[in-house]
Amino acid sequence: MRYHSTRNDADFVNSAGAVLEGLAPDGGLYMPEEVPAFDWKKCLKGDTLSMATAILSALLPDIPNLPELVRRAYTGKFETDDLTPTVPVGNFTVLELFRGPTSAFKDVALSMLPQLLTAARDVCGQEKEILILTATSGDTGKAALEGFRDVPGIRICVFYPDGGVSKVQRAQMVTQEGGNVTVCAVRGNFDDAQTGVKNIFAACRGRELKYSLSSANSINIGRLAPQVTYYFKAYRDLLDAGKIRLGDEVNFSVPTGNFGDILAGYLAKLLGLPVGMLLCASNANKVLTDFIHTGTYDRRRPLHKTDSPSMDILVSSNLERLLYLLSGCDTALVAELMSRLNSQGVYSVPNELKEAIDALFWADYAGDEATYETIRQVWDQHHYLCDPHTAVAWKVAERYVNQTGDTRPMVVLSTASPYKFPAAVLSAIGGELDGDEFDQMERLEAVSGVPVPRNLATLRGKPERHTGVIGKDEMLPFVLGL
């Protein structure tokens, strides 16, 4: 299968090349030339790991040995063998994506990516060691560290803003074990760290280095493809529970930031899964809500700091892939829209594209106030504890059902453990906030009776291994010295 950039269809790579390169040379994202034929009914018959294998084999046919790679990526690393359990809560079904090694939904993709990258390197005959560089505002860094730790032939270096991540997130990163990991704080904010990483990539282009540089962020098709699996898994659970019959459509509500998670849902639909509406749920940074309502994407607005920080984002990279798919793979159009976004901060899509979006997606947002209310209400009514990101998706699902009367089953994607945001969750359900985040976790456990995930509970006593702090101008020499 041939992959090309969303911005030009002249040059091709195979799926291994797309995984290895991450971003296309023209700045576009790699997409398959066409959606492969797929036996979705057969796929639903296996367990989660065989579903993952079938889906990855369809999307990344040039990666050999996938059953073994999938086994290595996931076996024994998640709290449950089915990786992403579903829980009926009120009229909805919650899909828990946070049962991985760092209690973040990004574990699903970042457990698999290192395996895909290593295999892709072999296929492409690249011999150098790979150095993964990542700037993180919290969750991605830890999930990437855990995914890449001790993977042969790969090193990983994570930069986070000094003082800019939560106490728990910092503890998760600075205690990271593994012989191939480096973690370093940068004096500055997340943008400084991210710009620093981009500058390193630019400075190293064309230079003879001991490593080949790569990144773990969600523009890599190797991060997106593994996420398709849990849509199939949720569907299967609904079948097994007798809530649907094979072929019935199911709606999904997705707390959205970079548009990777929800795009995986659309890919599941393209592979045949009976997906109904995809609900794009945002927080106060509602660029996507406005876009889906009006057809105009406008990033010219201030970024709000919210209590669902993983969705505090103004440019959702993976939306580019949706524009590509819905425009009938019109790479010239996508290139033009992206160049307008770059130069003017705004673009509008043609009417036909807007109509195609309307048929598939519904969007709304919830601010912090509504988010807190929802956490409390879900707790009071159903005794289910959800994190702020999940609460945003829940609220939007509720509004959708109220406004449309749609009776198809609704799956709400849950992207973080409530224990990753203990202060927000505690105050929403009326708990005391004194002490640090670790105290708050314990209090939340006492109030709710829901156990703290092991990886978080054991953090407090772990030795700190990575305590360095550098200025943003020191990042390049730091990396060159690795």
Ligand X SMILES: *Cc1c(COP(=O)(O)O)cnc(C)c1O
Q: What residues make contact with ligand X under the rule CB under 6 A?
A: 104-106, 139, 218, 255-261, 310-311, 389, 415-416
φ and ψ at residue 245, rounded to 5 degrees: -110, 155
Contacts of 476 (CB under 8 A, 6+ apart): 196, 199, 200, 203
Chain centroid, CA 303 distance in Å: 20
Which residue's structure tokens are 């943003």?
Answer: 472
Query: HSE-up of 446 (CA within 13 Å, CB side)?
Result: 8
Closest by Cα among 38, 11, 47, 15 to 26: 11
Q: In b/e form, how buried is each residue of 263-276, taking b as 16+ CB within 10 angstroms? A: bbbbbbbebbbebb
Neighbours of 65 (CB within 10 A): 12
Radius of gyration of the chain (CA): 21
Q: How far is the CB of 125 from ligand X (least distance, A)?
A: 31
Q: How far is the CB of 349 from ligand X (least distance, A)?
A: 19
> Measuring CA to CA, how many Å separate 311 from each of 189, 191, 242, 305?
17, 15, 34, 10
Sign of CA dihedral 446, 451, 457, 458: positive
The nearer residue to ligand X, 5 or 256, going by C-beta atoms, is 256
The nearer residue to ligand X, 204 or 287, going by C-beta atoms, is 287
- Asked whether 419 and 441 are in contact (CB, 8 A), the reply is yes
Neighbours of 302 (CB within 10 A): 7
Assign 3-state DSSP to the chain and report helix, strand, coil percentages, each to 5.
Answer: 45, 20, 35
Which residue's structure tokens are 């939560």?
Answer: 166
State yes or no: is 45 an active-site residue: no
The nearer residue to ligand X, 13 or 325, going by C-beta atoms, is 325
Helix (H, G, I), strand (E, B) or coil at 186: strand
Catalytic one of 41, 42, 106, 269: 106
- And the tokens for 210? 């001991």
Q: Which sequence positions are flagged as catalytic? A: 106
